[in-house]
Structure 1
Amino acid sequence: MTHVSRTARRASALAAVAAMLALTGCASTATNPQDPLEGYNRAVFSLNDAVDRTVLKPTATVYKDYTPGPVQTGVNNFFGNLSDAWSGVNNLLQGKGQAGMGDLTRFAFNSTFGLLGVLDIASEAGIPKHNEDFGQTLGVWGVPSGPYLMLPLLGPSTVRDTAALPADIGADIWKYKQPDNWRNIGNAVRVVDKRATLLDATSLLEDAALDRYDFIRDGYMQRRQSQVYDGNPPQAAEDKDADANSQVVPQPVSSEKQ
């Protein structure tokens, strides 16, 4: 499997090229103001979908069907515990001191009493879990999301979230695991485990959505907006973000989809 950090660097480079095309108004005939790069994004979506259908989804299905439940739970807890440290830092950067300290306490508690995070002792003790990343932090600081981007292998993103990827990747504790083969195996297991948790949602999506690309894009943009404002986005902020996105590319004269 391609190393996560190498994939992210390639994705960031592609996203930068896409953003440059957006700024020059040369990259799209899309009518959705949040998705001026729809042609590019749909092509990447098709690539990602092909990889998922042929490799990732079958592997995740075997993993879910044949790996004992306690092992799956332990794997999920282990990597979730590693993410708590960076989540705590982001909460502190966002000015949410109580949540930030709670995340860092979770990390310390589970890393010791929870056998390096395999057991989620902190949740049993009533310490809530948060999921914060640097893209959300930039959003709290007032950075608009920018156009929607579909990244190769990494999936849905935006210009803001893609710009935040280097910080998120650099803060991943597992990135520094030695030797390299253990780190690579862990990365593969983490990806498969995460995909396995989404199998049921994928089945529902395939049954319900007429256009899966539109469904995923709209759902992602709404979810990210909700995450930035902790589930209560002000209407003024939504309008401001939409205006910033719509100004990236001049709107086409025709309203018909090319």
Structure 2
Amino acid sequence: MPLQKIANGLTLLFFLFLMGCSTVPKVNSSVELVNHQDPYENWNRKVFSFNEVVDAFALKPIAKSYRFITPKFVRQGVTNFFSNLGEVSNFANNLLQFKPLAAGKDLTRFAVNSTLGVVGLFEVSTPWFNLQPSHEDFGQTLNTWGLPEGSYVVVPFLGGQTLSHSISLPIDYYYLNPVSYLIERKEISWGLTGLQVVQLREGLLDAEQLIQGDRYSFIRDAYLQHRTFLVNDGRLESDPFLEDDDFEFDEADFAD
């Protein structure tokens, strides 16, 4: 896919340039965090509006049609299939982050779901063996190596991401994607990629009903919170409730 490689390379250079222009200091206030991570808000809102139009007239109708004509168990199988392929990226990134035990779990999940789960159509490693999935990408690997998350940028067609996350997309979805190596026919590879995009969009149809107020701010804040959760491997650096000096816990108050 020479054109895709060129596009990926240009995208990578663009984000590397922006990454060098801005870094994100650690702050405690979530409001300050958003202000620091979204210095290009005016530009981002324009691109966000463009993406909303593209989604409304193209991707969302396709996702709705896909949901209408495809049984739920089939959609779940498709989701499981692509999630299983994602274990390759999880495995590689956990190794690069010096987490061999997590990488071993990812490899085991891939082997179990690919065999007992029939090429990943059934997710059996969690209910049968209690092997919880990882959610790693090359952006998190870059963070582990010391590269900051960077500013929040809305990319045409791709949506809003931090810069390090955007850099990781060509790596995770092309170079660490088994489809790129196992399937030589371009039409099949592109077809699977298109199916994955539609499946991902279909999975958001219900979630977007929870959006309240300004759509841009809601989606941005939800993304940044989720991204922080992933980068910290689910660990919270601070708990604002426990840091409240006025809060006192008396065990006797709960005793019978």
- TM (normalized to structure 1)? 0.78
Letter in 1 for 2:149: S
Q: Which residue of 1 aligns with 2:136?
A: 132
Pairing partner for 2:154 from 137, 150, 153: 150
Give the conservation status (yes or no) of the 8 Å contact 1:60–1:193: yes
Counterpart position of 2:55: 52
SS in 2 for 1:230: coil
Letter in 2 for 1:86: S
- 121-130 or 58-67: bigger deviation: 121-130
- The answer to whether the Cα contact below 8 Å between 2:19 and 2:150 also exists between their aligned partners in 1 is no
Which is greater in Rg? 2
Does residue 216 (structure 1) correspond to residue 222 (structure 2)? The answer is no
The two structures, once aligned, show a CA RMSD in angstroms of 2.3
Give a deviation string over 1:139-174, Cα, whole Å, max 9, x none. 233321111111111112112222223321311112
Confirm or deny that 1:232 pairs with 2:238: no
1:1-258 residue pairs with structure 2 within 5 A?
Answer: 8-9=8-9, 11-12=11-12, 14-16=14-16, 18=18, 32-125=35-128, 126-168=130-172, 169-176=174-181, 177-205=183-211, 208=212, 210-235=213-238
Give the structure, 1 or 2, with the largest relative contact order (CA under 8 Å, sep 6 or more). 1
SS at structure 1 position matched to 2:193: helix
SS in 2 for 1:156: strand
Q: Secondary structure at the match of 2:53?
A: helix
Is the partner of 1:157 in helix, strand or coil? strand
Residues matched between the structures, number:
223
Cα distance change on mapping 1:229 and 1:97 into 2, 3 Å: same
- TM-score computed with the length of structure 2 as normaliser: 0.78
Alpha-carbon distance in structure 1 between the residues aligned to 2:168 and 2:233 = 19
Gaps of 5+ in 2: 24-33, 239-256
Question: What secondary structure is seen at the aligned counterpart in 1 of 2:132?
Answer: coil
Q: Alignment partner of 1:199: what SS? A: coil
For 1:150, what is the secondary structure of its paired residue?
strand
Q: Is the 8 A contact 1:4 1:187 kept in 2?
A: no
Q: 1:19 to 1:97 in 2, by over 3 A?
A: closer
Q: Secondary structure, in 3 states, of the residue corresponding to 2:150?
A: coil
- Structure 2 counterpart of 1:26: none
Q: For 2:153, what is the secondary structure of its paired residue?
A: strand
**Percent of aligned positions that are identical:** 39
